[in-house]
Amino acid sequence: MAPPAARTGPEPSRTDPALIRNFCIIAHIDHGKSTLADRMLQMTGVVDDRSMRAQYLDRMDIERERGITIKSQAVRLPFASDDGTTYVLNLIDTPGHVDFTYEVSRSLAACEGCILLVDAAQGIEAQTLANLYLALENDLTIIPVLNKIDLPAAQPEKYAAELAHIIGCDVDDVLKVSAKTGEGVRELLQAAVDRVPHPVGNPDGPARALIFDSVYDAYRGVVTYVRVVDGSLNKRERILMLSTKATHEMLEVGVISPEPLPSDGLGVGEVGYLITGVKDVRQSKVGDTVTLVSRPATEMLGGYKDPRPMVFSGLYPIAGEDYPTLRDALEKLQLNDAAVVWEPETSAALGFGFRCGFLGLLHLEIVRERLEREFGLDLISTAPNVVNRVIMEDGSEHVVTNPSEFPGGKIAEIYEPVVRATVLAPTEYVGTIMELCQNRRGTLLGMDYLSEDRVELRYTLPLAEIVFDFFDQLKSRTRGYASLDYEPTGEQASDLVKVDILLQGETVDAFSAIVHKDKAYAYGVDMTKKLRELIPRQQFEVPIQAAVGARIIARENIRAIRKDVLAKCYGGDITRKRKLLEKQKEGKKRMKMVGRVEVPQEAFIAALSTNDASAAGKK
């Protein structure tokens, strides 16, 4: 194999920081970030045209299929500048979704510059705007870029003005490229060299490197991505993680270009990877600081946080015997997704499963999809819920992650998480968006015009209102034009109640929900009606009730079945009848018993999934 072109640039561990440019790309999904990255790989010669594949940096199947980046990647690109010098460009690919804001913030912290990539036919979206604010907070140099200028629908002048207005730069500073055709990409790389400041650090101080991502590789264990701030990390040294105080042998250090390329070490300003042989990403936490055991730094780089789950859902195997498989799968998954938390839980209706915490709805859906795809599981997930803090009159406190564990007794106060939501949309939809947010207990914080026909609305909303079907509603009310971003901002005391659903007097834990007092009735009516349609008639009448405490707020009845017999049975019919009986018995096995009531698995799935699955399916 011919040596990769990347080796012709300055060598890792011996690169002058003045020649390094570290930058990331912030873009909305579908605005062409991966295509632009692909073009940069080709243009700098680290990938030849023959081995090029679309979305080169997106490794997971799910990432490539859904066109999103879940885990960050960092690639080292040699770039022959107009001044005749070869520079090292480190492109740090960041996750684009709100669920992964923390990971985004760590990636940004590893950079000095940021390409703000916006579709020239669509303009900036709310999530991009949120990440742009994060970049500005990190004092990054912003290079505004309009992509897809080759599209007939492109309006580069209009959106250049919008970008200039948002960033506060000159319209002429906005670059125009087509990642698809390659037009303007070289100019963009040159702009990165010219505009992004080079990294500055103390080469002689104790080593400090920021972990901005860590991924689990089945063959190599955990691969940790770092940006060296001070000093250097050299191979075969022992490293120390400042937050956990854990020490590891550094088995390999190197850069990605775009395949792993071992090196002697990493110096000030360099971006690369380390391998220590640990098997669990929780040993290598995003945001942590790496130093050397031999000469440890004492001060952590700022910004480290433990990931905090925001949305919870019960995951249950459809086949009860898959429970151990699900446990193994979650353990394996946690090796490369430190943000998933889980604990065993038992549901009278669904059997044995796990209550899992996620960063957000997309995270929930991705985890569920990976469990099903990579481990061959069929899962039911209960409707997503948030964490409630319940203060009792006696002063005791309960943290409720599962509605069925909501405490009885005298409650003084209930708190729920709230978020600050930003909605960007064409001005004509302001009315309908306000109506939706009002319905969802939102408080308007402010409204700004980004341009003549685009507006930014800022709301405080209870997170619980968003995890239901908010995004779907928003999209359908605005014909898909609105974009949404939100970030947790704390909690508020609210008038919340727990609504229970009872089948023949027995509470079905999987259907309990914590909702605002004013919405309890609507939830009760919806759920009882839905279940009446989904549960087959039994040999006796089955009342379905919704209750708040002891008070029944809605009731439906499933009438008793009176006829369940195939009237005719003749000689030529017996085999068919026996086979039908065998099939029905198989079906009976898949029934869950709630008291005496046989409820088909499908009824649970249908009742639980109608709202949440679509809400989580945001792109």
Partner 1 sequence: MPSTLPDGEPAPVDGALPDVSVSRLGELPLGAYLHVPYCTTRCGYCDFNTYTAQELGPGVSRATWVQSIRQEVRLAARVLDGRAPAVSTVFFGGGTPTLLPPADLGAALAVVRDELGLAADAEVTTEANPESVDLAYLTALREAGFTRVSFGMQSATPHVLATLDRRHTPGRAQQAVAQARAAGFEQVSLDLIYGTPGETLADWRTTLEAALAAGPDHVSAYALIVEEGTRLAARVRRGEVAVPDDDLMADEYALADELLTAAGLGWYELSNWARPGAECRHNVLYWRSADWWGFGPGAHSHVGGTRWWNEKHPAAWAAVVDAGRSPARAREVLDADDRRVERILLGTRLRDGHPLTDLLPAGAEAAKRQVGEGLLDAAAYDEGRVVLTLRGRLLADAVVRDLVD
Indicate the annotated binding residues for GTP.
Answer: 30-35, 147-150
Whichever of 527 and 535 has its CB closer to partner 1, that residue is: 535
581, 590, 593, 614: which one binds partner 1 (CB under 8 A): 581
Whichever of 50 and 568 has its CB closer to partner 1, that residue is: 568
Whichever of 322 and 598 has its CB closer to partner 1, that residue is: 598
Q: Where does this chain touch partner 1 (CB under 8 A) — which range of 217-225, 307-315, 404-412, 576-584?
A: 576-584
Quick note: the x/- pattern for partner 1 over 506-545, rule CB under 8 A, is ---------------------------------x------
50, 53, 245, 585: which one binds partner 1 (CB under 8 A): 585
Least distance from partner 1 to the Cβ atom of residue 571, Å = 5
Least distance from partner 1 to the Cβ atom of residue 534, Å = 18
233: helix, strand or coil: strand
Does position 572 interact with partner 1 (CB under 8 A)? The reply is yes
Whichever of 308 and 579 has its CB closer to partner 1, that residue is: 579
Q: Where does this chain touch partner 1 (CB under 8 A) — which range of 100-108, 227-235, 240-248, 562-570?
A: 562-570
Q: Are strands 86-93 and 20-27 parallel, antiparallel or unpaired?
A: parallel
The rounded distance, in Å, linking the Cα atoms of 563 and 458 is: 57
Residue 314 forms beta bridges with which residues?
Answer: 355
The rounded distance, in Å, linking the Cα atoms of 99 and 93 is: 16
Whichever of 479 and 577 has its CB closer to partner 1, that residue is: 577
CA 62 to chain centre: 12
Whichever of 343 and 582 has its CB closer to partner 1, that residue is: 582
Least distance from partner 1 to the Cβ atom of residue 587, Å = 9
Token digits for 499? 């609504």
Whichever of 373 and 577 has its CB closer to partner 1, that residue is: 577
53, 172, 245, 570: which one binds partner 1 (CB under 8 A): 570
The rounded distance, in Å, linking the Cα atoms of 556 and 391 is: 33
Token digits for 17? 């920081």
115-146: burial string, b at 16+ Cβ within 10 Å, e else: bbbbbbbbbbbbbbbbbbebbeebebbbbbbb
Residue 291 forms beta bridges with which residues?
Answer: 240
Least distance from partner 1 to the Cβ atom of residue 592, Å = 17
Whether residue 258 is preceded by a cis peptide bond, meaning omega within 30 degrees of 0, is yes
396, 584, 593, 614: which one binds partner 1 (CB under 8 A): 584
Least distance from partner 1 to the Cβ atom of residue 562, Å = 4
Quick note: the x/- pattern for partner 1 over 586-615, rule CB under 8 A, is --x---------------------------
Q: Where does this chain touch partner 1 (CB under 8 A) — which range of 287-295, 360-368, 568-576, 602-610?
A: 568-576
Q: With CB under 8 A as the rule, give the number of residues binding partner 1.
A: 24
566, 590, 614, 617: which one binds partner 1 (CB under 8 A): 566
579, 614, 617, 619: which one binds partner 1 (CB under 8 A): 579
Q: Where does this chain touch partner 1 (CB under 8 A) — which range of 247-255, 259-267, 493-501, 577-585?
A: 577-585
The rounded distance, in Å, linking the Cα atoms of 354 and 344 is: 4
Q: Which long-range contacts (CB under 8 A, 24 or more apart) does 128-131 make?
A: 128/26, 128/27, 128/28, 128/31, 129/166, 129/422, 129/424, 129/456, 129/485, 130/98, 130/101, 130/422, 130/485, 130/487, 131/26, 131/94, 131/96, 131/101, 131/104
Token digits for 254? 């190197």
DSSP string for residues in 106-123? HHHHT-SEEEEEEETTT-
Does position 279 interact with partner 1 (CB under 8 A)? The reply is no
Q: Are strands 175-176 and 141-147 parallel, antiparallel or unpaired?
A: parallel
DSSP code of residue 504 = T
Does position 238 interact with partner 1 (CB under 8 A)? The reply is no
The rounded distance, in Å, linking the Cα atoms of 247 and 608 is: 45
Whichever of 53 and 568 has its CB closer to partner 1, that residue is: 568
The rounded distance, in Å, linking the Cα atoms of 26 and 93 is: 8
Does position 171 interact with partner 1 (CB under 8 A)? The reply is no
Q: What is the 3-state secondary structure (H, E, C) of 533-558?
A: HHCCCCCCCEEEEEEECCEEEEEEEE
578, 593, 602, 614: which one binds partner 1 (CB under 8 A): 578
Q: Residues 456, 447: contact at Cβ < 8 Å? A: yes
Least distance from partner 1 to the Cβ atom of residue 574, Å = 6
The rounded distance, in Å, linking the Cα atoms of 534 and 606 is: 8
236, 569, 590, 614: which one binds partner 1 (CB under 8 A): 569
Whichever of 51 and 584 has its CB closer to partner 1, that residue is: 584
Q: Are strands 113-119 and 141-147 parallel, antiparallel or unpaired?
A: parallel
Give the H or E element holding residue 164: helix 156-167
Q: What residue numbers does the annotated binding site cover?
A: 30-35, 147-150
Does position 577 interact with partner 1 (CB under 8 A)? The reply is yes
Binding region for partner 1 (CB under 8 A): 539, 559, 561-572, 574-579, 581, 584-585, 588
